[in-house]
Amino acid sequence: MARGVFDTCILPSALTPDNCDVFIRALEEAKPEIFSPGNTKIRLESSNANGGPGEQVSDVVADDEEVGRVLQKHLRYQGDTFIFLFQNHSWAPFNLSRAALRQIVTAVGPHPEFLRLFRGFGEPPSGYQTDFSGGYSSHTEVPCDTSSSPSCTSTEEEPRYSSGFMYTLRYMAANGRSQCPWSDRRIGVYHMRNAMRNASKSVWVVLQPTVAALELPRAVPAGSHQHDPTRLHVLLLRSILPAWTAYLTYLDTCENKHQAFTGSQDIQYYSDLLHNAILELKSNMEILAGLQRMGASHGGGNKASADHGLDTCVSQFRTNLSWAEDMLDRTKEASTLMALLHYSQRARELAFDTSNMNHVANATKADQDTMLLLARAAKKDSEIMKLIAFVSVVYLPCSLITALFSTGFVTVSLTGGATEAYDTRRALTQAAIYAVLAAALTILTGTVVYILRRRTAVRA
């Protein structure tokens, strides 16, 4: 229930002691590890304190019980007040307890959108860049209600207005690693300005400030209570331009040296880096567009100079954006060419494989033809062997009988007979016996062979 309070279209004009607990509880549900109890570290600085030109007051608070008192001290000053909140690293919780944040919200009275800034910090719930946040948010209220915004400290009756400008600034930072030497970083900025006709009071809340952001209190014009509200934002944006230029130079160098083009996965990784860079640069461009609208509604003596600085910053970011888009286009062209080369290589490999398969098929066909010839030769040999076997079966019984008649037991000399007629009759008798025995054995052998073949055929 509490988590959905940020998604409603109707939000209160400011966070107060009565409603801030609901929004802080919703923030804790969306980011369970956003706070670090017992590890509070808040840096507060005020510029032009008590109206003194260049007078700076700085405090570092590490005790939750001291947060409210020190905040009230700084909010009573007439100049700009800066509240810096820190993390140990990008995905770490803030060095801030829930109680300390409640005291900040109660003292400053920001718009509920202020707590959205925290949702873009800390460890993402499902991994890297699952909660991309960018662009800006602004609100203006007339007149300023001192009951809902304690930073409106004036008791004068002349008209006042309260305006807020909030954004998450995206930049790249070198991390010193050999692999993936650049990391995505963020700065959260909430700037609330309560202005009168002749004076203004600004409160800045900066999340995870850079070195340049920590120098913003010293960049406030000395003795000026109505300086251009975009000036410090432009200084902050210009401070990250060198890092963006160095990061894009690194990506361009990788492309020119083909360090990222060793494979399709490397090209995809390189494209993702450029795509993320373009998204972040466009987000920063949206912030600059919001600052241009803020500057157009502000009247001041140095408006022309402020507009020139803002236009210069816009031009430099637009140049970096065009550079990144050009590199992405070249990467897409290289990806297309690599895909064509990959397909061409695959086509050549397929043609080579097809040729090899054709050779194998032709060799197989030649082997089959050879095997067919061998089979035919074997069949012919088999038929010849059958013929030989048949002839052997026919003549074998005759050979057996002949062998028997050639022995001394059967042979009877035809020369020792009494008469010629007797010899003739005996020879005829032996010839008849030989013919009958040979025919009978031949028939018997043929019958046995036939029976054996029939049995073999039946078994098969």
The predicted-structure confidence for 27-58, as pLDDT tens digits, reads as follows: 888 888 889 888 899 999 998 656 555 678 89
Q: What is the pLDDT of residue 198?
A: 47
pTM above 0.75, yes or no: no
Residues 72 and 196 in one domain: yes
Q: How many domains does the chain have?
A: 3
| Token pair in block for residue 151 | 């930073």
In eight-state DSSP terms, residue 87 is B
User: Which residues span the domain enclosing 143?
Assistant: 1-221
Amino acid at 232: L
Residues 245 and 367 in one domain: yes
Stretch 171-184: mean pLDDT, rounded? 89
Phi then psi for 37, rounded to 5 degrees?
-60, 140
CA 185 remoteness from chain centre: 19
Boundary (domain end) residue, out of 175, 190, 221: 221
Q: Are strands 81-85 and 200-207 parallel, antiparallel or unpaired?
A: parallel
The pLDDT-based confidence of 96 (bands split at 50, 70, 90) is very high
Report the range of poorest mean pLDDT among 73-77, 274-278, 404-408, 412-416: 412-416
Rounded to whole angstroms, the Cα distance separating 113 from 15 reads 9
For 226-378, strand residue ranges (E) read none
Residues 370 and 393 in one domain: no
Residues 111 and 100 in one domain: yes
- Please check whether residue 41 is in contact with residue 218, taking contact to mean a CB–CB distance below 8 angstroms: no
Q: If residue 136 lies in a helix (H) or strand (E), which one and from where to where?
A: strand 136-141
Rounded to whole angstroms, the Cα distance separating 172 from 242 reads 10
Adjacent-strand bridge partners of 185: 171
In eight-state DSSP terms, residue 94 is B
Residues 280 and 303 in one domain: yes
Rounded to whole angstroms, the Cα distance separating 349 from 371 reads 32
Phi then psi for 61, rounded to 5 degrees?
-110, 125
| Token pair in block for residue 391 | 């002839």
Q: What angle do CA 443, 447, 451 make, to 5 degrees?
A: 175
Q: What is the pLDDT of residue 130?
A: 47
Among residues 73, 76, 48, the alpha carbon closest in space to that of 61 is found at 73
Amino acid at 16: T
Examine the pLDDT at 159 and tell me if it is beyond 50.
no
- Please check whether residue 273 is in contact with residue 349, taking contact to mean a CB–CB distance below 8 angstroms: no
- Please check whether residue 45 is in contact with residue 86, taking contact to mean a CB–CB distance below 8 angstroms: no
Among residues 244, 195, 239, the alpha carbon closest in space to that of 213 is found at 239
The pLDDT-based confidence of 397 (bands split at 50, 70, 90) is confident
Q: What is the pLDDT of residue 371?
A: 94
Residues 24 and 123 in one domain: yes
Residues 166 and 186 in one domain: yes
| Token pair in block for residue 408 | 């001394």
The pLDDT-based confidence of 9 (bands split at 50, 70, 90) is very low
Rounded to whole angstroms, the Cα distance separating 310 from 237 reads 9
Residues 71 and 203 in one domain: yes
Residues 294 and 328 in one domain: yes
Residues 368 and 262 in one domain: yes
Residues 451 and 347 in one domain: no
CA 171 remoteness from chain centre: 21
Q: If residue 84 lies in a helix (H) or strand (E), which one and from where to where?
A: strand 81-85
CATH number of the domain at 368, please: 1.20.58
Stretch 318-331: mean pLDDT, rounded? 93
Boundary (domain end) residue, out of 349, 377, 405: 377
Helix pair angle (264-296, 241-256), 10° resolution: 150
Separation in Å, CA 190 to CA 30, 321, 358, 428: 20, 25, 73, 144
Q: What angle do CA 13, 98, 161 make, to 5 degrees?
A: 20
Examine the pLDDT at 162 and tell me if it is beyond 80.
no
Residues 437 and 350 in one domain: no
Q: What is the pLDDT of residue 414?
A: 47
SS (H, E, C) 272-302: HHHHHHHHHHHHHHHHHHHHHHHHHCCCCCC
Boundary (domain end) residue, out of 360, 377, 394: 377
pLDDT tens string 77-94: 877 899 999 999 888 899
Contacts of 58 (CB under 8 A, 6+ apart): 43, 44, 45, 46, 217
Q: Is 167 helix (H, G, I), strand (E, B) or coil?
A: strand
